[in-house]
Structure 1
Amino acid sequence: MSDKPPQSLLPYESWAARALRSVAVDALEYAAREGLPGDHHFYISFRTDHPGTTIPGHLKARYPQEMTIVLQHRFWDLQVDRAAQRFSVGLSFSGVSSILSIPFAALTAFQDPFAHFGLRFEPELEIDEQAASVPDDHAGLPEPEAEATPGQPQVVSLDAFRRKRE
């Protein structure tokens, strides 16, 4: 006799993952509509090599698999498109303005450190290793500072762009 539970014929894990991903999308929609209240801010990690992810070529070259962005003080044009299953946002990297467009399915993590809230996700589709990168319109410009750890996701530091609190 086996102690192993029977395999479900219903996709509960997929449903639960979709529901949790929806929490992150709801938070992004709120921020797009109302702005970020108080000290709330988001760390959003996503697969840069996921089909449909659109980022400038210089960022794709620097972060070929995964990237984390911070939405706090300096971002613009945050738009959430549930029909297209993606969001887009404007950010600056080393003083160069960029628009990133990210499918919800590419998300790997969402955190709001102020609220001590975080979620981790598995990308919904297989990663296309041969995915074409976006041409680099900013060749020769300095890259954002980030601590590189081989094989680990990298966090882009936006400290240089933050206003100092007095």
Structure 2
Amino acid sequence: MGREIDYGNLMHSAMRGLIKTVLKDVAELGQLPGKHHFFITFDTSHPDAELADWLSDRYPEEMTVVMQHWYDNLDVGEDGFSVTLNFGDAPEPLYIPYDSIKTFVDPSVEFGLRFESAEDEQEEDAQDHAAARSDPQPEDDLTPRADAEVVSLDSFRK
């Protein structure tokens, strides 16, 4: 069997499906329930992303939008969603493809998703290797290893 299961892409697809489901529920309800609100960071250079020229000039790589108190025309599709948001009292329509989303966070319930591409991981690995070369750490049984440490989120909750 020469094929491998691509768990990374399968996980990203499932997480994007979760975002789509959440946005569909919000669109059907007509408002965000309770204190929920979303911070969505997306790649503005994505070929299918649609935003005003002045926004893409100001944010040529990525931007974070907030869906909270005021948004309009939320339309959730198969490949992305469109929404009108307020930028300094100027309503602007946006189309955000799901595969352009880099982070999706709902701080009201401490929930967040982060999507990393193979390029992001390679950059991170290169930075880690450069840091390891420039700042060697002693390796012994008493030194905790950061890459093996598991931290419970409960320790940060009040």
Give unmatched runs, 5+ long, in structure 2.
Answer: 119-158
| Residue 14 of structure 2 corresponds to residue 19 of structure 1 | yes
Considering only CA atoms, is the larger Rg found in Structure 1 or Structure 2?
A: 2
Q: Could you tell me which residue of structure 1 aligns to residue 134 of structure 2?
A: none
Q: Where does residue 24 of structure 2 map in the other structure?
A: 29
Match of 2:91 among 90, 94, 97: 97
**2:50 corresponds to 1:54:** yes
User: What is the TM-score with the length of structure 2 in the denominator?
Assistant: 0.69
The structural deviation recorded for 1:70 is 0.5
Secondary structure in 2 aligned to 1:51? coil
Question: How many residues are paired up?
Answer: 116
Residues 131-150 of structure 1: pairs in structure 2 closer than 5 A: none
> Could you tell me which residue of structure 2 aligns to residue 156 of structure 1?
none
**Scaled by the length of structure 1, what TM-score is found?**
0.66
Query: Aligned residue for 1:152?
Result: none
User: Structure 1 CA distance, aligned partners of 2:55 and 2:65?
Assistant: 11
Equivalent residue, structure 2, for 1:45: 41
Whether the aligned pair in 2 keeps the contact of 1:107 and 1:122 (CA below 8 Å) is: no
Misfit runs of 4+, over 2 Å: none
The 1:77/1:71 distance shift into structure 2, 3 A limit, reads same
Q: 51-60 or 88-97, which moves further after superposition?
A: 88-97
How do 1:60-75 residues align onto structure 2 when only pairs under 5 Å count?
60-75=56-71
Measured at CA, do residues 123 and 69 of structure 1 come closer, stay the same or move farther in structure 2, by a change above 3 Å?
Answer: farther
How far 1:122 sits from its partner (Å)?
A: 3.1
Separation in 1 of the partners of 2:36 and 2:117? 25
Query: Aligned partners of 2:116, 2:53: CA distance in 1, in Å?
Result: 24
Q: 2:138 is matched with which residue?
A: none
1:81 aligns with 2:81: no
Structure 1 gaps, min length 5: 1-6, 125-166
What's the CA shift for 1:8? 6.3
Other-structure match for 1:158: none
Match of 1:121?
Answer: 115
Choose between structure 1 and 2 for higher RCO, CA contacts under 8 A separated by at least 6 residues. 1
Identity across the alignment (%): 39
- C-alpha RMSD of the superposition: 1.7
**Residue of structure 2 equivalent to 1:9:** 4
Decide which moves more: 23-32 or 57-66: 23-32
